[in-house]
Structure 1
Amino acid sequence: MLRRYAAIGAVSLLVLAGCSDGGESEPRRSPAPSTPKSAAPSPSPRAAFDPPTRFGPQGAALPAEASENTIGGGDAPVRPLPVTLHRTTAFIASTTALLAVDTITGRTLATIAPTAGTTQAPTGTTPGGTDPARTDAARAPLVWTDNGRATVLATFVVDRPAKGTQKAGRAIEIVAVDAETVKSLWTAQVEAPAGLDQGYAGLAADPIGVDAGTLAVGVTYQTAQGVVAVDLATKQARWSRADFRPGVVTSGVVVGATGDPLSDPSSVLALDLADGKQKWSALPGSQQLIVSSVGPALLIATGKNYGSGDTLVASLDVATGKVRDRSAADYSSVRCQFDGKDVTVCGRSGWAVGLDSTTGKTLWELPDRAGTRVAPRIAAAWHGAVYGTTDNGPVVLDARSGKDREIAPGLAPLVVNEYVGIGLPPNGGEGVRAYPAAQ
């Protein structure tokens, strides 16, 4: 799998939401959060297509927070949008609140702010901070099913006021919202990993993943990173660790890398979500390691050899950490994403590949060897469909064959589900818009 496209050059593997009449008006900034407001989502959901291959021509403008500082000067996304879809509702993680937006009307249904104190926006110009080690800054909210209830989880850094004998300080607040009613369910506060928060600007928190009722929160303080595992039943921290850069949560573990990404020798570690104990380690003596998911059973780690500086990319078994394949290729600018079914799609400018998410086997690669087809710029992959653009416009590929599935979809969505696609307006305009799935 890795050798097939080892010569392409660079993979950092980032596992890379108002009413509208269809015009491309500028997105509105949501009001500053105060007391949470809420309104019921639209009662009649759109027709569902799993996966959609065409989108309607009229899109609802989403608040500026859905794309702020994520779109580059060339109208191309420079990092994943901080947006998660549940049915026809878009949940947007801003720096100060969680927004719930009806993608049918563009109406903001709820603005849910933390309750423990004043939110602290990260330093720099991006919602997730500017630290280059944080390769997936401004992670989208997570949807977690709790006893049959779909629950949206978002995380914030808050400045807590002094109370009684308790000094003022900072905390990480988890906000839980009912995905159907968009009403706040609960909030909880946990401390940053010991030694990570020195009280200065630059502390940020991002939800990494949920498994077995435990939420892993990635915490960044300037150039240092750590993780807190939060028991969602008790709403308390199970454990935390400061010298760990979390990347993937799966099968009861959080997998990431140790050490400073630029200067320290590093390894890939899998830590038990229940108690933080090490389950396995891999690739010792590495540097600048980044871990991302290919599927439920397979991971990819990229980085360099600490001693020689040679680049490396390796596929790892989730259960054991065993290296299935390894290459010395330079993977520093490709983004990969799992389609949630059985294929992972990786791409960079001028190249794309589909991988079987269980075996890692190469399913297809573009451009083809005959030179008759070009590679699209990958926007998203979901449930067997790959969405992207070429110089001919948006296109949808079949995820397993790589063949053109729809050549006139009307949109290359960056976030998509069976009801809606969220993406850049095809005819230009500010921000991102939500377009109904039409086929």
Structure 2
Amino acid sequence: MRFVTRGGLMRRRVAAGSAAVLALAVGVSGCADDKPPPPPPPQTASASPAESSALDPPLAFAAKPVRIPLPSRMFQVRDGAAYLLEGNNALAAYDLATGARRWSAPLAGPPVRLGNTGPMIAEVDGRPTAFVTYRVEIAGSGTVPDRTVLRVASFGLADGAPGWQSDVDDRGIPDDGSLGVDKVVAASSDHVVLSTDSYDTGGVSGDFTAVLDARTGKTRWTEPAFQARALDGDVVAGMSSEPHPDRTPSSTIGLAASDGSQVWAHEETRPVGNLINGPLGGGLLQVYPVGRRGDGPNGIVDLKTGREVIRLETGGSSSVCRYDDESVVVCSQHLSSRNGTMVAYDATSHKRLWQVPEKGSGREAPRITAARRGMVYGSTSNGPLILDARTGQDKVTDLPFVPEVVVPGFGIEVEQREMTVHPAVG
């Protein structure tokens, strides 16, 4: 690859005094007759919503989960709430602790397609804000035909109050496709980045990216044949889909968020996954080789410079990586049910921390599903478990389920039409 640059196990809380109450009940029963007392009812670990949200990272979960309807697999979680698009015309907030809907805000349009999308959240001028994109039809007049545009809308996270909305009207937007994806890929206090992937239309013509001002919704620039995947500061990283006079072809590239000019290129690579997948985080992007180096291992590049900082030692191109939102990147690869490898790296120094299995260890490498503040969540043939992200040692080996998303106070399973939320109790 060539590089071109410009620039305690589960803790359970039982109500105080329960042991005294149990002892009193046994004493009373003993006075009544000689039969042994009945067994006490089983205790179920629980925590208040406030207690749950303070448990970060969560290591134990309540037995009874909360279920929330989920029209698509894309959603965002912040401060104990899930934000998602429901039905055909509303952004909604659901309380993770109770499953109750906090608010629902209609989308102006109405949408002609939501595009399998979900919201993206950023803090703009101290105000947490959700951004969504969807397609609307603008009626024509006279000799001007009807046209479909990408509408981007902002909402206050506290109550769903609408903010600005902006229409991206560009000839480079691919034709509407029933299986395509329109998504706000990333947002910050300055920029909103949206991309499309109308892969059902065939070829690479389904890619399109626009960058908007986060405060006003004004379009900064648009770029057909480019699919954004991540944002770090003022650099938008993604893949160049087809030849362009000012782009490096067949490459992962970084563009300036201000004007779309090319900042760097990591040649003969593509970002791992697809537009539905979220970014790795930590200012990093996972890529895989294409072209002449198509049989090589994955790498991880720095989003601001495009420099490859980690060459994955797991080999092959199918590694799944997660960032723990603190200091560690963990990757796993499995070629069969038990033939796998897991390896962890420091997110700053990029040095390898540990690997499972090490030679002669006899350990089985877990399949990773999530990582959070020094913990790795996944499963082996023995079931779900949690590892210490900095040492690789087993932390919890009797986890009752495999969480796909882990946030402060909650572990979440994502199913076809709902999310199952498990409040933390330890």
1:58: Cα distance to partner?
0.6
Counterpart amino acid of residue 337 in structure 1? R
* Structure 2: runs of 5+ lacking an equivalent: 2-47, 335-339
1:218-276 deviations in Å (ceiling 9; x for gaps): 12233421210010112111101012121221121101121259xx9512211111111
Partner of 1:345: 330
CA distance in 2: counterparts of 1:107 and 1:327, whole angstroms: 42
Partner of 1:11: none
CA distance in 2: counterparts of 1:49 and 1:327, whole angstroms: 32
Which of 379, 392, 399 lines up with 1:389 in the alignment? Answer: 379
More helix by share: 2
TM-score by length of 1: 0.72
CA distance in 2: counterparts of 1:116 and 1:301, whole angstroms: 37
Which of 278, 298, 303 lines up with 2:289 in the alignment? Answer: 303
1:326: Cα distance to partner?
5.2
Partner of 1:275: 259
Tell me, what secondary structure is at the counterpart of 1:421? strand
* Structure 1: runs of 5+ lacking an equivalent: 3-42, 69-80, 128-137
CA distance in 2: counterparts of 1:317 and 1:430, whole angstroms: 35
1:117 aligns with 2:117: no
- Is this contact kept in 2: 1:293–1:337, CA < 8 A? no
- Counterpart mapping for 1:24-423 below 5 A: 45-47=50-52, 48-65=54-71, 68=72, 81-93=73-85, 96=88, 97-122=90-115, 127=116, 138=117, 140-162=118-140, 167-181=145-159, 183-191=160-168, 193-198=170-175, 204-221=181-198, 222=201, 223=204, 224-260=206-242, 265-283=249-267, 286=268, 288-290=270-272, 296-305=282-291, 307=292, 309-311=294-296, 313-324=298-309, 331-349=316-334, 350-423=340-413
CA distance in 1: counterparts of 2:400 and 2:194, whole angstroms: 36
TM-score by length of 2: 0.74
* CA gap 1:416/1:404 in 2 versus in 1, 3 angstroms: same
CA distance in 1: counterparts of 2:312 and 2:375, whole angstroms: 28
CA distance in 1: counterparts of 2:51 and 2:143, whole angstroms: 53
Counterpart amino acid of residue 215 in structure 1? V
- Is this contact kept in 1: 2:269–2:288, CA < 8 A? no
Counterpart amino acid of residue 94 in structure 2? V
- Greater CA radius of gyration, 1 or 2? 2
* CA gap 1:212/1:84 in 2 versus in 1, 3 angstroms: closer
CA distance in 2: counterparts of 1:314 and 1:308, whole angstroms: 12
- Is this contact kept in 1: 2:156–2:163, CA < 8 A? no
CA distance in 1: counterparts of 2:196 and 2:162, whole angstroms: 23
- Is this contact kept in 2: 1:311–1:331, CA < 8 A? yes
- Is this contact kept in 2: 1:171–1:189, CA < 8 A? no
CA distance in 1: counterparts of 2:393 and 2:177, whole angstroms: 51
- Is this contact kept in 1: 2:324–2:373, CA < 8 A? yes
* CA gap 1:219/1:325 in 2 versus in 1, 3 angstroms: same
1:166-201 deviations in Å (ceiling 9; x for gaps): 7532222223233233x2332413325532334665
- Is this contact kept in 2: 1:269–1:279, CA < 8 A? yes
- Is this contact kept in 1: 2:327–2:348, CA < 8 A? yes
* CA gap 1:379/1:320 in 2 versus in 1, 3 angstroms: closer
1:424: Cα distance to partner?
5.7
Counterpart amino acid of residue 171 in structure 1? V
1:356-393 deviations in Å (ceiling 9; x for gaps): 11232221222232242212221211121111122322
CA distance in 2: counterparts of 1:120 and 1:404, whole angstroms: 45
CA distance in 1: counterparts of 2:379 and 2:400, whole angstroms: 10
1:158: Cα distance to partner?
2.4
Identity of aligned residues (%): 25
Report the number of matched residues.
Answer: 360
Partner of 1:433: 420
- Is this contact kept in 2: 1:175–1:184, CA < 8 A? no
- Is this contact kept in 2: 1:188–1:236, CA < 8 A? no
1:431: Cα distance to partner?
4.2
CA distance in 1: counterparts of 2:414 and 2:300, whole angstroms: 33
